[in-house]
Amino acid sequence: MTMQELNHLDCKTWLIASDKTHEAVLVDPLLEKSGEYLARLQRDGLKLLAVIDTHTHADHLSGAHFLHEKTGAAVAMHAATRAAPVTRRLADGETISFGEIALQVFHTPGHTTDSLSLYGNGALLTGDFLFLGTQGAGRLDLPGGDPAAHFSSLEKIAGLKDEVEVLPGHDYQGHERSTLRDERRANPVLTPRKLDEYRKWWDAKKMGPADWMKAVVKANLEGRMDATGVAIPQGVSACCAAGPEPAHSDAPPQLAAADLQRMLNEKRKLFLLDCREPKEYNDELGHIAGSALIPLGEVGNRLGEIPADAAVVSICRSGKRAARIAQLLRSFGRGEVWILTGGMIAWNQAGLPVERR
C-alpha cells in the first residue's frame, strides 16, 4: 500500500492507495494542487474512490468538490458537517475499506464540530485534531472549537499503541510524520491533566479568528472551485494555536499577521521587536508602526530596552531571525515571547499597513 504526503507544504494532503486494487483516496486535498493530484493518479494508474476532508478548513480552499467533478469520486466528511458538496456522510466507528486497506473513522471534534481522524494500517491521520510536538493541535478558538469536546476526543486514541504513526493535516516546523510514542512524550496536548486544567490551558491561547478565515470557511461550505474573492495570506500558521506554550516547551509560539493586527487594534500591551538590520527597517517591506529596531546582534546588550511587563513579538523579514531572538529571550527568562510567522513578508502579503521613514 501507499500512504504518502503530496504537498511538501505546511498544509498536508495524504494519498492512500491499494497495491492490490489500484484504488485510492485523498485526504485533505488543496484546490490549488488538484491538477497535480489528477496527474499523479493518472501516472500511477489509480482510481480515485473518495476524497475525504477531515473537517471544514479555515486556512485553505478544499479541492474535494473539484476532484469530485473531475473523477466522480465521493466527497466524504463526518455526518456533522454543513458542507454542501458532501456525497458521503461518515459515522463514528465506520470503516472505509478497499483492497488491503481499512480505515476506521474516529469523530474527533474540538477544533471543529465535524473533525474526524482516520485510523488503519498502522497510521492515524489526524487532520487538525493533533499536530506534532510542541505545535499541539489545531486552534480551538475558531467557530465550533470546544476544549471539552477535544478533551473527550483524546480518549479515543488513548488505547492506540505507541508504534502508530501520526500523520497530521498541518505542520509548521518542517516535519511530516511522527509516532504516538514521541507525541506522548513531547506534545503538550497529550500531557495528562484534568478537564478544568485543560480548559484553562486552551483559554490562555485564545486568539480569535481572523476575518479572512471566515471567508474561507464560507467558501468551503459552499464547495467553491475558484479562489475569486478569497484572500489567503501566505506564510501564516493560521490553524496552529498561538499563545504561550507550557514552561517545558522549547519552541516559542507563532503569531499570524492578521491576528497580530487584531491584537494591536485591541490595544494589547505588546512590545514589537524588529530584529532586522537598519537598512531593512525602511526597505520595500517597511516596518510595523510602533516597532522597536534592535538588530539581531545587539539584542543581548540592549535587554534593558525591552519592557518586562509586555508580551514580546519578535519580527524579521521571514521569521528565521525572529525565532533566534525568541529563543534568546526565553533563555533570559522571558516566557511570553511570540514569533511573527512569515515576518514582514507575510505582513505585506496580508495587505497590512507599514511605515517607511
pLDDT tens, residue by residue, 209-259: 567 788 899 999 999 999 887 877 665 566 776 433 433 345 678 888 888
What is the pLDDT, as a whole number, of residue 209?
57
The answer, yes or no, to whether residue 306 has pLDDT greater than 90, is: yes
What is the pLDDT, as a whole number, of residue 154?
97
State whether 189 and 314 are in the same domain.
no
Residue 113: band (very low, low, confident or very high) from pLDDT cuts 50, 70, 90: very high
- Structure-model confidence comparison of residues 273 and 330, the more confident one: 273
- Count how many domains the chain has: 2
**Mean pLDDT computed over 181-186:** 91
What is the pLDDT, as a whole number, of residue 308?
86
Cα radius of gyration rounded to whole Å, the chain: 21
Taking phi over 0 as left and psi of -120 to 50 as alpha, with beta for the rest, 208 belongs to: left
What is the pLDDT, as a whole number, of residue 243?
38
State whether 48 and 178 are in the same domain.
yes
- Structure-model confidence comparison of residues 103 and 250, the more confident one: 103
Q: Which three cell numbers stand for residue 202?
A: 486552551
* Helices 147-154 + 195-203 axis angle, to 10: 130
Amino acid residing at 146 = D
**Mean pLDDT computed over 165-194:** 91
Residue 174: band (very low, low, confident or very high) from pLDDT cuts 50, 70, 90: confident
Q: Which three cell numbers stand for residue 312?
A: 514580546
222 inside domain: no
**Mean pLDDT computed over 104-119:** 98
How many whole angstroms separate alpha carbon 308 and alpha carbon 51? 50
> Domain of 81?
2-203
218 inside domain: no
Q: Which three cell numbers stand for residue 209?
A: 479568528
What is the pLDDT, as a whole number, of residue 248?
38
* Helices and strands of the chain, counted as H and E runs: 10, 17
Angle at 50 between CA 45 and CA 53, to 5 degrees: 125
State whether 180 and 283 are in the same domain.
no
What is the pLDDT, as a whole number, of residue 252?
72
Q: Which three cell numbers stand for residue 102?
A: 481499512
How many whole angstroms separate alpha carbon 78 and alpha carbon 85? 12
* CA–CA distances in Å: residue 84 to residues 88, 108, 154, 209, 221: 11, 21, 28, 22, 6
**pLDDT cut 90: percent of the chain above it:** 67
CATH number, position 317 = 3.40.250.10
DSSP 3-state of 150 = helix
How many whole angstroms separate alpha carbon 225 and alpha carbon 218? 12
State whether 50 and 199 are in the same domain.
yes
Least confident of 11-20, 53-62, 257-266: 257-266
Q: Which three cell numbers stand for residue 153?
A: 476526543
Place of cell 511570553: 336
State whether 264 and 196 are in the same domain.
no
**Mean pLDDT computed over 1-27:** 96
pLDDT tens, residue by residue, 43-64: 999 999 999 999 999 999 999 9
State whether 197 and 63 are in the same domain.
yes
Residue 40: band (very low, low, confident or very high) from pLDDT cuts 50, 70, 90: very high
pLDDT mean across residues, the chain: 90
